[in-house]
A and B are shown apart, each in its own frame.
Chain A
Amino acid sequence: MRFGILVFPGSNCDHDCYHVLKHLFGQPAEFIWHKETSLHGYDALVIPGGFSYGDYLRTGAIAQYSPIMKSVRDFAQAGGPVLGICNGFQILLEAGLLPGAMLRNRSLKFICKDVFVRVENTDTPFTEAIPHGRVLRLPIAHAEGNYYADPETHRTLLEHRQVVFRYCTSDGRITEEANPNGSLDGIAGICNRAGNVLGMMPHPERCSEGLDGNTDGRSIFQSLLENRTVGRR
């Protein structure tokens, strides 16, 4: 599976994603500078974390108009899998490829720690190798991860099973205390209605190799490689 990893000025998790896909999973992977305009020949895209354009104006606000984003829209529209991690999630929200918006964490602090998330939907190409309800331990590192959607949008998300990850306790309970940033309904990740675009705040690429004893992030990339729901391009 040929992966494209988008690189914006200020992306800083691009090399981690590349390392995991290329060296851990042995997949062809390439960086795609944001000024490129073609995504020809790629099977899946990763929009990595970081601080694109220094988070100026709003997180992801300026990146949404980078030249490559037009092709990203077309790619997503055609059913190609797009995984947005952290700042990548914020970019997908600003670009309107996912609904809702990010607010500052309710604590106003940049939070960098491991959290637990429960897998709420295993019918996406990013989660289908994971048993339903599985609790993953994944690191977060963000100041704007407080997901917000208006009540109507929230209702639609639930109706179409677009909530993919929710913050939870280590034994999988959704509680206020387990919610690190104030996110609506404990939402840590959502997909589009078709399921081929996923945005998530936690960083699976940071816990795939197992150097710190945790490989919970692997299952997301593994799912994508084994996926049957999204046709290969």
Chain B
Amino acid sequence: MKARVYVTLKNGILDPQGKAVQQSLHHLGYTVIKGVRLGKYIEIELSPMSLEEAKRQVAEMCQKLLTNTVIEDFRFEVEG
């Protein structure tokens, strides 16, 4: 079983890294870009369990450790 967790900065939180990447892409000629936000992608291997239980546990992991909910949001998918 595998969970894929996506961690992103909340809307309105300054993202200096995203800004720097955006500027670099602009320099490369990609003037169509209006904004870049950087986040994290985390893959978690899980022992077999019900989908429901897996989702419950992954949500808990996100709350407890994988994200800082003051500044970050998360979403995830679990596949059996």
Q: Which residues of A contact B (CB under 8 A)?
A: 57-58, 61-62, 65, 94, 100-101, 103-108, 146, 148-150, 182
Contacts and interface: CB of A to CB of B under 8 A. Distances in A.
Interface in B19-34: 20
Contacts of B13: 103, 148
A101 B68 CA distance: 8
A108 B17 contact: yes
Interface residues on B, range: 10 to 19
Nearest to A58: B68
A57 B17 contact: no
A61 B65 contact: yes
A39 B13 CA distance: 37
Contacts of A58: 68
Interface in B61-77: 65-66, 68, 70-71
Nearest to A99: B70
B16 A104 contact: yes
A57 to B, nearest CB: 7
B46 interface: no
Contact of B70 (A105, A106, A107, A150): A150
Contacts of B70: 100-101, 148-150
Nearest to A62: B65
A108 B20 contact: yes
A104 B17 contact: yes
Nearest to A184: B14
